[in-house]
Structure 1
Amino acid sequence: MFGVAACATAVIWIKKSDVDPVLLSGLRLLVAAVALTPLFARDWLRWRAEVTPRHFRDAAIPGVMLALHFITWIIGVRMTSVVNSTLLVNLTPIVMPLMLIRLTGEYPTRRELLATVIAGAGLAILFVADFNASWEHFKGDLVCMGSMLLLALYLTLGRRYRHHPTVWLYLVPLYYTAAALAFALTPLLSEDTSVDWRREWPWVLALGLIPTVLGHSLLNNAMRHFRGQVVGLASMMQFVIAGALGYLLLPEEAPAWSFYPASVLIVIAGVIVVRRPSSRAVAHPDATATGTAPPAAGTPTGSR
């Protein structure tokens, strides 16, 4: 939940900054990678005998997804409201079950599916309200939806590639790969790459350290130990936190009426999934009873 709260601040720093979206994505990733390099070096010295080229390849693939997610989300954030962009980009539970089944063999439980349906109702309320209110906001919602698909794939790959000895040996190469891709795309996709560092450095630093180093790192670590759908549904709470922050820090971002019923449904979905008894998967090993596929030999079950 601390990671979720840290991620929720990203939209505030993005709204404060005027740096080009592609360049800003590369800068936040570079800040995160550099900040975490000492932890990578420490773990590398301890585990280097077990690290193979496959580990770096498996970190590079989700790194590409993360770079594209950051770029599209920053674009979407600047087209729509704080609450809409944060909710839409965290609707990963809507699509994550299919990705988890395909990439990890992890099937959602009945309780997780119920929570997903309730969260989907919140999405419907928000989407219909925006479609009727503002075409510009609606286009921003669509961009955030595309960014959400990239985020879901990135998190699912984090679940699949949890064989890295430590989370830092996975994340630091991932962040460097994502940063390199964002910087490579900057001259191709950006019209203005100038940066007023006297104004921008607090927002770039905050974006790199709080939602990236703290937020994304903790969520990736959670994907190593918890079921993927549980992490995805918990992440949707960012919507409520970001809405409150937007109301307090950005007066022009007061939530629309649709924020309130959508928030209630998101909170209900979160409560349903986190209250799932931790012994359920163990007590009922049959996949048909729990909705989970039997783990492969030598693979962590991910139960709590």
Structure 2
Amino acid sequence: MNAMNKTKVPVSMFLVIGIIAISFSSIFVKWSSAPTSVIAMYRLLMTNVLMLPFLWRYAHEISQIHLKEWLRTIASGIGLGLHFLFWMDSLHYTTVASSTAILTLEPIFVMLGAFLLYRQRTSRIALISMAIAIIGAICIGWGDFQFSGEALKGDLLSLLGTVAVAMHMLLGKSIREHVSAFVYSFFVFLFAGGILAVYNIASGASFTEYPAKEWGIFFLLAIVPTVFGHYVFNWLLKYMKATSISMTVLGEPLGASLLAFVLLGETITMLQLMAGCLLLIGVAMFLRSNEEK
């Protein structure tokens, strides 16, 4: 049976919502002039503030969480915090298309991790579909790749962020077998925000000296890509394989590039549009083959 049919809700609809939401992340970061670590910290901690009034409903569940789950949640939070720190900083050195295209390596890292940790195998058709989607995503950012100077630094930062989010995704899959999406998300965001707060204190970054525009951007990042993006993906980990969710995130380069064209004035070519179609075909093929039982 297809894993998407195990729930009474249209999982595909939530996948689309999540992809659109995370596609706005790079746009908001580009609009901000605050330090990357500060943007990421407030993005996460503001999400915690929004979730806090509902936390009491999960008091019993929280009291039942074992030490192993807490340690995994802390590690997952560190992975998410490092992802935001590295990837968001990459946007100061390279283009949206280039940075998000590198994120397409995430499902490869997740697939390898899922095999090593959970002995989860992937079919030949799924591997071919993954290759098609990744080729399409890389083509979207191909014209923006540069192998020297600040652009290279940005690409390397994006790669480090990709490894970190793969670790976060793999840990999240195991935790979500025993912990609800709300509890897992709340504490993952809290630990990730806490790590970034420590980093900001150590680096001497200001916590308060920002204009109203910046606080508005922090809030938008908390609402759109975090609540409607990362929280939705955390919820879906209960019903889908981590590799499949990582594959759907490949839609971000296409969505982000289209938004960057409309909102930031970045160029988009016919090659990128054709590559986007190739990407979507590959993702659809992968989800159909990889989620079949």
TM-score band, normalised by the shorter chain? 0.7 to 0.9
2:40 to 16, 25, 37: 25
Contact 1:164 1:170 in 2 (8 A): no
CA distance in 1, matches of 2:290, 2:34: 45
1:1-304 matches, within 5 Å, as 1-45=16-60, 47-48=61-62, 50-122=64-136, 125=139, 129-131=143-145, 135-189=149-203, 195-251=209-265, 253-255=266-268, 259-276=272-289, 280-281=292-293
TM-score, normalising length: structure 2: 0.86
Bigger drift between 226-235 and 133-142 goes to: 133-142
- Give the letter for the 1:61 counterpart: A
TM-score under structure 1 normalisation?
0.83
CA distance in 2, matches of 1:131, 1:176: 34
The amino acid across from 2:242 in the alignment is: G
Contact 2:130 2:247 in 1 (8 A): yes
Alpha-carbon distance between aligned partners in 1 of 2:140 and 2:133, rounded to the nearest angstrom: 11
2:140 and 2:253 in contact (8 A); partners too? no
- Is the contact between residue 115 and residue 272 of structure 1 (CA under 8 Å) also seen in structure 2? yes
- Distance in 2 (alpha carbons) for counterparts of 1:198 and 1:145: 32
Structure 1 CA distance, aligned partners of 2:227 and 2:196? 17
Number of residue pairs the alignment of both structures matches: 278
SS at match of 1:182: helix
The 3-state SS of whatever aligns with 2:110 is helix
Instruction: Note the alpha carbon deviations across 1:267-298, whole angstroms, 9 max, x for none.
Output: 121121133386x42xxxxxxxxxxxxxxxxx
What CA deviation, in whole Å up to 9, does each residue of 1:114-137 have, x standing for no partner? 122113323554675444587432
Within 2, Cα distance between the matches of 1:114 and 1:93? 13
* CA deviations over 1:60-115 (Å, ceiling 9, x no partner): 11000111110001110121112222222243112211111122222222222112
Deviation at 1:38, TM superposition (A): 2.8
| Deviation sequence 1:14-34 (CA, Å, 0-9, x none) | 011111011111111101111
Distance 1:49 1:177 in 2: 18
CA distance in 1, matches of 2:89, 2:63: 42
| Structure 1 residue 233 displacement after superposition | 1.0
For 2:142 and 2:259, how far apart are their aligned partners in 1?
Answer: 24
The answer as to whether partners of 1:126 and 1:262 remain within 8 angstroms in 2 is yes
| Unaligned stretches of 5+ residues in structure 2 | 1-15
Letter in structure 2 aligned against 1:266: L
Counterpart Cα distance in 2 of 1:162 and 1:6: 22
CA RMSD, Structure 1 to Structure 2 (Å): 2.3
Distance in 2, matches of 1:156 and 1:277, equals 16
Please state whether the residue corresponding to 1:153 is helix, strand or coil. Answer: helix
**Native 8 Å contact 1:112 1:230 kept in 2:** no
% of aligned pairs identical? 23
Q: Which runs of 5+ in 1 are unaligned?
A: 282-304
| Contact 1:158/1:224 (<8 A) preserved | no
Larger radius of gyration: 1
